[in-house]
């Protein structure tokens, strides 16, 4: 039996140990303790086995504010920790986000990010396309980023009502300290600073974000839910 197989069996035994049948509960607990001793596992390691990671590609390789804001809003809604990392595919730079959560939370969060980031990127492109032809490309980019930042804020208000997740902060912190102690904080880039952006760029983004659509995964099935 491998260590991972032992962890799965231990978790099943611990679940049975909550049985109202005292004999069944005691037998299950003895089996769990035996397996933990055989594989040199402690209670913390067994608890951390409930945590999973799920990786999803970012829209842009750049560490921009709107994607960072959106990804953190989703992580918070689904009770996950999150970080991003850059990798290289030949000469192409790629960024991805990693969601870390208890049970299926990370997988659901990465799914939500994939769906919502594509919607946000599409709405951003449409907003950029509506800018006057006299606008410089750098101004259009800045206005698009402000719109997308507003979009992320708008959808954040909806996500708070959507997820209803409980965050096991202590367990996640232990996992992060054990698995990702080398992480460093990097500020997202604000490309709109000093640019000719307008207040209604963010406002229009907020209104658009409030109309985002997301499908909720329930026990392996997917049920469509409109965030309003």
pLDDT higher than threshold 70 for residue 106: yes
pLDDT of residue 225: 39
Confidence of residue 226 (pLDDT cuts 50, 70, 90): very low
Q: How deeply is 10 buried, as exposed, middle or buried, from its count of CB atoms within 10 A (0-12, 13-18, 19+)?
A: buried
Output the average pLDDT for the chain.
80
* DSSP, res 116: H
CA angle 129, 228, 108 (to 5 degrees): 90
- The percentage of residues in the chain with a pLDDT greater than 70, rounded to a whole number, is 84
């Amino acid at each position: 039996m491998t260590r991972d197989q032992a962890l799965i069996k231990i978790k099943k035994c611990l679940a049975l140990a909550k049985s109202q049948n005292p004999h069944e509960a005691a037998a299950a607990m003895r089996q769990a303790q035996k397996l933990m001793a055989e594989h040199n596992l402690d209670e913390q390691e067994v608890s951390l086995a409930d945590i999973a990671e799920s990786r999803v590609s970012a829209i842009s390789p750049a560490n921009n504010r709107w994607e960072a804001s959106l990804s953190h809003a989703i992580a918070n809604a689904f009770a996950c920790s999150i970080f991003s990392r850059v990798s290289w595919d030949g000469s192409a730079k790629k960024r991805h986000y990693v969601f870390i959560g208890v049970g299926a939370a990370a997988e659901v969060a990465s799914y939500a990010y994939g769906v919502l980031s594509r919607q946000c990127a599409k709405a951003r492109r449409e907003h950029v396309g509506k800018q006057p032809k006299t606008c410089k490309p750098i101004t259009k980019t800045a206005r698009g980023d402000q719109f997308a930042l507003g979009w992320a804020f708008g959808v954040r208000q909806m996500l708070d009502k959507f997820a209803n997740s409980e965050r096991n902060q202590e367990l996640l912190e232990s996992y992060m300290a054990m698995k990702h102690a080398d992480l460093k904080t990097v500020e997202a880039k604000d490309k709109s600073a000093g640019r000719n952006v307008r207040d209604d760029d963010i406002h229009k983004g907020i209104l658009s974000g409030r109309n985002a659509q997301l499908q909720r995964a329930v026990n392996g099935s997917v049920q469509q839910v409109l965030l309003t």
